[in-house]
Each structure stands twice: as structure tokens, then as C-alpha cells.
Amino acid sequence: MARAQLHCLCLLTLYLTTGRGQEGKFSGPLKPMTFSIFEGQEPSQIIFQFKASPPAVTFKLTGETDGIFEIQPDGLLYHNRALDRETRAVHKLQVSALDAQGNTVEGPVPITVEVKDINDNRPTFLQSKYEGSVRQNSRAGKPFMYVNATDLDDPDTPNGQLFYQIVMQLPKVNDVMYFQINNKTGAISLTLAGSKELDPSKNPFYSLVVSVKDMGGQTENSFSDSTSVDITVKENIWKAPEPVEIVENSTDPHPIKITQVRWNEPGAHYSLVEKERLPRFPFSIDQEGDIYVTQPLDREEKDSYVFYAFAKDELGKPLLFPPESYEAQVLTTSTQGQTCATKVSICQQMPTDKGVSSIGTLVAHDMDEENTVNSVLHYKIVDQFPKFPKDGLFLIQSYTGVFQLAMQSLKKQDASQYLLTVEVSDKDFQTLCQVKINVIDINDQIPIFEKSDYGNLTLAEDTAVGSTILTIQATDADEPFTGSSKILYRITQGDDEGRLGIDTDPQNNTGYVIIKKPLDFETTAIHNIVFQAENPEPLVPGVQYNASSFATFTLFVTDVNEAPQFPLHIFQAKVSEDVAIGTKVGNMIAKDPEGLDI
């Protein structure tokens, strides 16, 4: 009686746990069959009742039983202990029907038992502690180290799908994360803030706590593990260079090495680009980063050269942007008694500025004894080039060498650089000094969208997070690659839940609209989006953003009918052996995520 009670209990459990039967039945004739059973189930679970056809009177089981599967003479196939998918995922069995003399009258027939995975293994990191290093100003998003974890569960099911995340960063300056991790690969890289702000002189060491979860990190019932990551920040060896001085009309063999650049890591590809388009560009760089002048220079032809040094990776992407600027100054072969500063930089003045504006100071030195009449110097501007928009734009105080802007503001659109010739004299001698004045751009131009309306787009509410759904573009007439011309995009209307975001390409100011959070038809079916383009630098007084810096876009979200879900994957019930047919043994209730009737 006890054995019969066991069979009744196990038969009900099998029906609720396997979810698979042949033609909806749990007994039948001997034929090839496949069964799916969850690992970890209680022992003595009935799988199937085979029916014998005369002259067969009993059954025999062979194959990969592993001492787990048995069959009774009456054809009752069952397993006597819990299955383990990690030990064997598929059991290949054979069932034969025998007559009273033990002769095979049917079969052997192949029976396949597939062991379905359950989440019975926790992910584990391969190391309890990881160590890595990263250079200051390394490119955001480029991995510099990895953490790795393994999970013995089936990788083709959520049980074995791992999700990495950084749960702690120490120190966390101004509550800003400097590091990020690819939640699928475990690749650690710098954030945009980390690429800009990491400074080994302030914080040379950082510690991270990284966790890994199975079930894709999507359920609170997932298993997890954690590890520590120690990161050393190394100094950026790509330094802003000093101006290079080259003597004109050199007779030494060319090319001549004049300076060098070195990227933080080996393997960088170097190139030079001239700032101005010239008839000849007498400089080159090799793949070791050494910079050469390739021919003799003539100061009367050009007294200085400005060029950019690029370092790119193996895919041709810049490793640092913007590139470093170099200046090569051409020296005469003889010097004068007095020496002068070579360059004074000023900021562009507002068109409404009136009155005399101080720019900078030209310092000259006299070899005579200080504080005597022979050492008193007198300054005078004798030439201005170009004389546009007019001559006499600059003044210089006679005895101090202080430059001033004379009654008119400068505009970079008129000229980006002025060359002044200044006569410096004492009571007996005089010399001429060259002074360069660079006009630096200010933020007096607003970003302008290429079009004011980006039309309509329809997306299903299950569109993947991270998808790029739209490209937008605005332009700015200020000087390229400055805070005045850099464009940042933001959404000012139509996305109160923050489901969308915009990434900006720093090279061309293109904006990519991405999905940051899942769309939801039931919450918002139509998003009337308003974009604004703005600069990180403030606009000058009197200039304001207007309608040209705004654009619209309409996003329609369509409904997706999500499948009903059971709250549990496995239901079990117990009944006595004499239970009446039709007796209710339990409820299995599914719910629709959208609240629809089932």
C-alpha cells in the first residue's frame, strides 16, 4: 500500500514539474520518446508508464542510467534520486519489452531524458582581487582591464547569463564615477569624466567593488559574487610642448630632429597636420614620434610655423582630442643689443567695448647698468600688419611697454593675428622687436540646428535599451574645437521620465538620440520632444539662444502584448491514494503584465 501511495504522489508531481507528456498522457505503448525533467527534483519521481502488448509481459532498461533511472516489470519508468544537469545534461536510455522467458519481443526503443537547468550554482570570480593601471587622459570607453567570473549553470538559459556592475568606487570625488564596466564582458574603462579629470597628483589609487549576478541581473533571486579591483593611475606622458627655435639658413645635413612626442602606450601611429595651408610644409614625424625639420628655413619667408601632432590607434581613431599644438620659431643668425618678448595673446573684445583696453606688456632688456640714464628704454610702434580694419589699432606706453587697444574692439573675423614692429631705444642705441598678437575667439555665436523638425518615428515599447533611434545635427560658427563651438544637446520637453538620452560626437558635434530606459506605451504613447543645442561655455552678454537652437521630434510608442506569466515555474500538490476523480488539487493562476484578462 505504501508503494502505491508513492506512485500516486509522484505522478501528480511529474505532471506539474515536467510540463511535457506524450500526446498529453503519462502512459502508453512502447515507442521512442523524449522527456524533459528539471534537475534537483525529489527522488522516486515517475516519468512514464509503458503498456505491454502480448506476448510481452515485462520490461528491461539499459543505457546511460547512471544508477538513477529504473523501470519496474509493469513498465513504470522513474528516477530514484535527483538529477544534476552539470553531471549529465542528456541521458540516452533504451527500453525493451520481454516475454515470459526473458526474450526481447520489442525494442530496444530509444528513450531520451533531457535534464533542464535550474539556478543551483552561484557565479564566482576567477580572482578574489584584481589589479590594473590606466594612464591619465586615456580615451573614454576603451577597456584597460577585465574581470571574469564563471557559472556552472546552462549558459543558454538566464541561469548562466552573467551581469557585471560596479557597486562602489573609492574615492568618489564630487560623487562622480570615473570608471565603468561592460555588464556582459566585464571590461573596465574610463567614463568621459574619468578621461578628463583623473589626476595621479591628486589621487593615484582607486579601489572598486565589482559584483556579478546570474539571471542576467534581472531578478532579486539571482546569485551573486563580488571582488575588489585596485587601479593605479599613471601620469600622462603626452605633454604640451615648449616652442621650438630653429636657426634660419642652417647648412647642417637635413632632416634635423627638433623635438619628439610620445604617447602613453606603445603602438601609437603619429602624424603632423599644418595649421595653415602653405606652399611647403618643412616638417615630418616618424613612427617613433621624432619630429624633424626637413630643409633649411628662411625667416624672411616665414618667421614661425604652427602644426598639430596626432596620435592614433591601430583603427585610425585619435587617442587624444584635440591634438597637441607645436610652434617652431625661426631665429636670425645674429642678435641685437636689446631682447624682446615674441608674443602677446589677448582675448577678443566685445563690439560694445569702449575706451582704452590693456593687452599685455613687452619686456626689453638693456645691458647697461640698471637705474641709470643709459638703461632707460623708450617703446614705439612703427608698423602694424595687417592694417585692417584700420591702422593704429594698438598703442604702447612709452616707458613701460604696456600694450593697449586703441578705441576699438577686435574681431577674429577681421584678422586672427597681428604682427607689430616695435622700436626699443635708449639714448644711444635702438633695436626693432616683433610682437605677435593672437585674437582669441569668444562665444558670440549660438548653435543652429540644420532643421527645426525631425519628423515622426514609431517604435514598439520593447525596443532595446541602448538603441540609437535618431541622429541630430547643429553647427556653431565659433572657433572649432573650443568650448565656444562645442555643442551639447538636451531634451527640454516631452521626456519627463528620462527614457531618452543624447550622446554627442566631439569631432563633428553630431548628436545621437538613444533609449536610456524602456519605453512604456501605457505610461506615454506619444512623446512630443523638444531638443536644445547649447555650448558648455557661457554666451557673451547680449547674445542669447533663440529658436534656431531648438528642434522638435515626435516619437510614437506602440503597444506590445506581453505573454501571461505564472508566478512559479513548479507547482506541487499532495493527495491521498483514494482521492475521488474530479477532486480539485490546487490552483495555477497566471497574470498578464498589462492587466488584461486571461
Asked if the structure places residue 585 within a domain, the reply is no
103 and 186 in one domain? Answer: no
Q: What is the spatial order of strands in the sheet that 45-51 belongs to?
A: 27-29, 45-51, 76-79, 69-71
- State pLDDT tens for residues 295-307: 998 877 888 888 8
Asked if the structure places residue 6 within a domain, the reply is yes
User: Of the spans 225-229, 430-434, 478-482, which averages the highest pLDDT?
Assistant: 225-229
Using 50, 70 and 90 to split pLDDT, how confident is the model at 380? very high
pLDDT of residue 97: 93
Which of 188-192, 463-467, 557-561, 579-583 has the weakest average pLDDT? 579-583
174 and 103 in one domain? Answer: no
Using 50, 70 and 90 to split pLDDT, how confident is the model at 408? low
**Percentage, residues of the chain above pLDDT 70:** 88
Considering 116, 134, 154, which residue would you say is the last residue of a domain? 116
**Stretch 51-71: mean pLDDT:** 92
| Full residue range of the structural domain in which residue 275 is found | 244-331
**Stretch 357-381: mean pLDDT:** 76
Between the two ends of the chain, the Cα-to-Cα distance in Å is: 41
413 and 464 in one domain? Answer: no
DSSP string, 520-569: -TTT-SEEEEEEEEE-SSPPPTT----GGGEEEEEEEEE---PPPB-S-S
What residue type is 498 in one-letter code? G
pLDDT of residue 592: 72
Residue 161 or 329, more confident: 161
Q: Which residues does residue 165 pair with via DSSP β-bridges, in sequence order?
A: 211
CATH of the domain at 149: 2.60.40.60
Mean pLDDT of the chain: 84
**Stretch 66-93: mean pLDDT:** 92
pLDDT of residue 322: 61
Asked if the structure places residue 408 within a domain, the reply is yes
pLDDT of residue 588: 78
Asked if the structure places residue 174 within a domain, the reply is yes
3-class secondary-structure state, position 159: helix
Asked if the structure places residue 147 within a domain, the reply is yes
106 and 6 in one domain? Answer: yes
Name the one residue in this structure whose C-alpha cell is 533609449.
Answer: 515
Distances (CA, A) of 123 to 120, 153, 207: 10, 9, 22
Domain count, the chain: 5
80 and 23 in one domain? Answer: yes
390 and 296 in one domain? Answer: no
- Model pTM score: 0.43
Q: Which residues does residue 213 pair with via DSSP β-bridges, in sequence order?
A: 163, 224
Alpha carbons 433 and 191: distance in angstroms, whole number: 48
Per-residue buried b or exposed e for 534-550, using 16+ beta carbons within 10 Å of the residue's own CB: bbeeebeeeeeeeeebb
Helix (H) or strand (E) holding 327: strand 324-331
pLDDT of residue 456: 95
**Stretch 57-69: mean pLDDT:** 93
Residue 333 has pLDDT above 70, yes or no: no
Which of 22-36, 199-213, 272-286 has the weakest average pLDDT? 22-36
Considering 382, 407, 440, which residue would you say is the last residue of a domain? 440
- State pLDDT tens for residues 124-146: 999 999 999 998 888 889 899 99
Residue 21 has pLDDT above 50, yes or no: no
Q: Which residues does residue 459 pair with via DSSP β-bridges, in sequence order?
A: 557
Which of 66-75, 326-335, 389-398, 458-467 has the weakest average pLDDT? 326-335
Residue 465 has pLDDT above 70, yes or no: yes
DSSP string, 453-499: EEEEEEEETTPPTT-EEEEEEEE--S-TTSTTT--EEEEEES-TT--
Which of 239-248, 277-286, 454-463 has the weakest average pLDDT? 239-248
**Stretch 226-241: mean pLDDT:** 85
Asked if the structure places residue 340 within a domain, the reply is no
Residue 423 or 575, more confident: 423
**Stretch 277-291: mean pLDDT:** 87
Which of 103-107, 267-271, 577-581, 591-595 has the weakest average pLDDT? 591-595
Using 50, 70 and 90 to split pLDDT, how confident is the model at 594? low
512 and 432 in one domain? Answer: no
pLDDT of residue 405: 82
Q: How many CB atoms lie within 10 A of CB 393?
A: 22
Residue 355 has pLDDT above 60, yes or no: no
356 and 310 in one domain? Answer: no
Asked if the structure places residue 212 within a domain, the reply is yes
**Percentage, residues of the chain above pLDDT 90:** 42
39 and 98 in one domain? Answer: yes
DSSP state of 193: H
250 and 213 in one domain? Answer: no
554 and 453 in one domain? Answer: yes
Considering 116, 144, 166, which residue would you say is the last residue of a domain? 116
Of the candidates 134, 118, 126, the residue with the CA atom closest to the CA atom of residue 212: 126
Using 50, 70 and 90 to split pLDDT, how confident is the model at 24? very low
Q: Could you tell me if residue 19 is left (phi over 0), alpha (psi between -120 and 50 degrees) or otherwise beta?
A: left
262 and 202 in one domain? Answer: no
Alpha carbons 403 and 344: distance in angstroms, whole number: 9
Residue 267 or 457, more confident: 457
Asked if the structure places residue 176 within a domain, the reply is yes
Residue 397 has pLDDT above 50, yes or no: yes
